[in-house]
Amino acid sequence: MSTFVELLRYLKNKKTKRNVLSFYDNNPTTNLEINIALDYIRNHKHYSSISRIKTFPYPFSDNYSTQNVKIFLDGSNNLLYVIRNGKKLYFRRNMSYKKAIKLYNSLLIEQDKESAHLYLTDEFNIVENDILADVGCAEAFLALDVIEKIKKAYLFEYDDLWIEALNYTFAPWREKVEIIKKYVTDRTENNCITLDDFFTHKEMPTFIKIDVEGAEIKVLNGMRHLIDLKNKIRLAICTYHQTGDYEKITEFVRSAGLNYVTSKNYMLFNVIPYFRRGLIRVIK
C-alpha cells in the first residue's frame, strides 16, 4: 500500500467484510441469493485487497475491469466520451479520465443480466415507438442504448454539467429528445415538476425509468394520474437508495393495483441492511 488513502480503503473493506459476515453468522438466512453473495465475499480475494467494496458481490462482476475501458477527448468541446455501440456517450465537464473510466465500468456492471440494477430484460423491454421518460438520467446510458427504436425521449436532469454533456450525446437525435432541467417530485413549483403536470399536454410516456437518489416515492406520488389512466405503461423503479425504499415502493405499487417483478440478486452496502433489492419492474 503506497498511500494513506489506500490504507483507509483497505481498513474499510476489511471492516465491512467482517461486519457483514458476523451479522449473518449470528442471523443466518435461507435466502439463496444472499447466501451466494456471502460465499463470494468470504472466498473472493477482492475483499482483502485495497479495492473498494463491490456493490454487486457476485461472480459476474469479475467480468468487468476498468482496464478495458477506453476514454477519448473531444477536442471540439473538451469533453471526455466513450464509444457505446458506435455512439458517443459524453461525460460531464471537468470529470477526470480516472473517474470517467470508473463510471462507465460501473454502468456496464449495473446493466449486466445478473445485476440487481438491470433495467431491461427480454420480457421487460423498450420496443419500437416507445415514449421514454428517463427521470434522473445523468449520462442517459439507457436512453442512448434505445434511441434508434424509440419515438421520443424526455430526459429529466437538473445538473448543468450533465445537461451540457447530454446535449452533445444526443445531438444526432435532437428532433426526438427533450432535455428538461427540473427535479421530478410530488409538487410543481420553481425548479420542481410532477410527471402528471409535465405530461398534461403531451403524448403519454409508455416507459418510465425512475432513479432519483431516494426520492422515488415522491416521483410516484406525483404521477398518480398517469398511473390511473388506462394506457399501457412500464416502469423501472430503483428501490435501494434509502433504508425501507423497497417496502415503501412495492406497497405503493400494490395499492395502485399494479403488478411488479423484483430484479434478481442484491446490492451490498456498508450499513444495515447490508443487502438491498436494486429495482422493481412494473407493467400496467
- pLDDT, one tens digit per residue, over 33-69 is 999 999 999 988 665 544 456 899 999 999 999 999 9
Domain limits at 277? 110-283
Contact of 276 with 246, CB cutoff 8 Å:
yes
CA nearest to 151, candidates 123, 178, 180, 121: 178
Low-confidence residues of the chain: pLDDT under 50:
1, 49-51
- Do 120 and 23 lie in one domain? The reply is no
- Reduced to 3 states, what is the DSSP secondary structure of residue 279? strand
Strands 131-135 and 207-210: parallel
- Do 157 and 262 lie in one domain? The reply is yes
- Do 39 and 171 lie in one domain? The reply is no
Per the structure block, which three cell numbers stand in for 64?
468487468
Q: How many domains does the chain have?
A: 2
Instruction: Find cell 410530488 and name the residue.
Output: 186
pLDDT at res. 50: 43
- Do 156 and 27 lie in one domain? The reply is no
- Do 132 and 220 lie in one domain? The reply is yes
pLDDT at res. 5: 56
Quick check: is 148 in a domain?
Answer: yes
Q: Which one of 53, 68, 89 terminates a domain?
A: 53
pLDDT at res. 11: 61
pLDDT at res. 39: 95
Distance between CA atoms of residues 140 and 148, nearest Å: 14
- Do 121 and 39 lie in one domain? The reply is no
pLDDT at res. 44: 80
CATH of the domain at 167: 3.40.50.150
- Do 121 and 13 lie in one domain? The reply is no
